[in-house]
Amino acid sequence: MSKNFPKQLTSNIGLFYVCLELSKLGWNVLLTSRNTKGVDLVIHSQEAKRTHTTQVKSLTGREAANASSLIADFIVICRKVLDCKPEIFILTKQEAATIIQVRTNKSGKQSQWLQYRNYEIFRDNNWDKMGSGWD
C-alpha cells in the first residue's frame, strides 16, 4: 500500500502525529501554511516564554529524507507513518547539519538528504530533546 499512498497524505499523517506528541508534552502547536518551503510547525510553551520551529519529514518506510532546506530548530523524521506507532527521530538543526549528504549533478544542481543509516542514531522517540511546554 505505501508505494501508491499519496505523498500529501503521508506528509499529513506524520505532521499530525508529531503535533499530537508535542501537545501531550504541553506545547501549543501552530501549523504553518502547507506545501510551502520553510518550517512546518511553530511551538510555544504554555506561558509563551519559549518558542521553537520544527520541520517534519514523513516517510512510509526506511528511506532517506530530503534535506534541501533545513532551517528549523528541530527536524523530526516520522518514519513508517502507516504503522500504528511510527518511528521517530529527533535532530537539532546542528545535528542534522553534521550528517547531511550532498551530491552535485553534471549540470551543477545539488541535492541534499539525510541518509537513514546516518539518522538512525537519533531514534527512540527522544521527545525530551525538545523539552516540555510546561513553563
> Longest Cα pair distance anywhere in the chain, in angstroms?
51
Per-residue pLDDT of 19-55, as tens digits, reads 999 999 999 999 998 777 889 999 999 999 999 999 9
Whether the predicted pLDDT of 100 surpasses 60:
yes
- How many secondary structure helices (H) and strands (E) does the chain include? 3, 8
The fraction of the chain above a pLDDT of 90, given in percent, is 83
SS3 96: helix
SS3 38: coil
Measured CA to CA, the distance from residue 18 to residue 23 in angstroms comes to 9
Confidence (pLDDT) at 22: 97
The beta-carbon contacts of 76-79 under 8 Å, at least 24 apart in sequence, are: 76/18, 77/114, 77/119, 77/122, 78/13, 78/14, 78/15, 78/17, 78/18, 79/116
Write down the pTM of the prediction. Answer: 0.93
Confidence (pLDDT) at 37: 81
In order of 45, 61, 78, 101, 115, the CA distances from 83 in angstroms are 29, 10, 11, 27, 21
Q: Where are the domains of the chain?
A: 7-128
Instruction: Give the fold, CATH level 3, of 7-128.
Output: Trna Endonuclease; Chain: A, domain 1 (3.40.1350)
Mean pLDDT of the chain: 93
Whether the predicted pLDDT of 125 surpasses 80:
no
